[in-house]
Amino acid sequence: MAPSFTARIQLFLLRALGFLIGLVGRAALVLGGPKFASKTPRPVTEPLLLLSGMQLAKLIRQRKVKCIDVVQAYINIIKDVNPMINGIVKYRFEEAMKEAHAVDQKLAEKQEDEATLENKWPFLGVPLTVKEAFQLQGMPNSSGLMNHRDAIAKTDATVVALLKGAGAIPLGITNCSELCMWYESSNKIYGQSNNPYDLQHIVGGSSGGEGCTLAAACSVIGMGSDIGGSIRMPAFFNGIFGHKPSPGVVPNKGQFPLAVGAQQLFLCTGPMCRYAEDLAPMLKVMAGPGIKRLKLDTKVHLKDLKFYWMEHDGGSFLMSKVDQDLIMTQKKVVVHLETILGASVQHVKLKKMKYSFQLWIAMMSAKGHDGKEPVKFVDLLGDHGKHVNPLWELIKWCLGLSVYTIPSIGLALLEEKLRYSNEKYQKFKAVEESLRKELVDMLGDDGVFLYPSHPTVAPKHHVPLTRPFNFAYTGVFSALCLPVTQCPLGLNAKGLPLGIQVVAGPFNDHLTLAVAQYLEKTFGGWVCPGKF
Number of CB atoms found within 10 A of residue 21's CB: 20
**Cβ neighbours of residue 260 closer than 8 Å, sequence gap 6 or more:** 368, 374, 375
Catalytic residue among 185, 225, 230, 408: 230
C-beta of residue 358 within 8 angstroms of C-beta of residue 431: yes
230 is catalytic: yes
Chain-centroid distance, C-alpha 399: 32
Catalytic residue among 185, 193, 206, 316: 206
**Predicted confidence (pLDDT) per residue in 312-330, tens digit:** 999 999 999 999 999 999 9
**Predicted confidence (pLDDT) per residue in 242-292, tens digit:** 999 999 999 999 999 988 888 999 999 999 999 999 999 999 999 999 999
For residue 190, give the nearest of 87, 110, 109 by alpha carbon.
87
**Cα separation, 430 vs 28, whole angstroms:** 44
pTM (two decimals): 0.95
**Predicted confidence (pLDDT) per residue in 355-370, tens digit:** 999 999 999 999 888 8
Lowest-pLDDT range of 18-32, 364-378, 491-505 = 18-32
Indicate the pLDDT class of residue 3, thresholds 50, 70 and 90: low
Pick the CATH number of 48-523 from 3.30.70.20, 3.40.47.10, 3.90.1300.10, 3.40.50.20: 3.90.1300.10
Q: Are strands 447-451 and 169-174 parallel, antiparallel or unpaired?
A: unpaired
Number of CB atoms found within 10 A of residue 530's CB: 18
Angle at 112 between CA 107 and CA 114, to 5 degrees: 80
**Cα separation, 345 vs 342, whole angstroms:** 9
372 is catalytic: no
For residue 451, give the nearest of 314, 312, 319, 348 by alpha carbon.
312
**Predicted confidence (pLDDT) per residue in 444-482, tens digit:** 999 999 999 999 999 999 999 999 999 999 999 999 999
**Predicted confidence (pLDDT) per residue in 497-513, tens digit:** 999 999 999 999 999 99
**Cα separation, 262 vs 319, whole angstroms:** 26
- DSSP H or E segment with residue 88: strand 88-91
Catalytic residue among 131, 164, 352, 429: 131
186 is catalytic: no
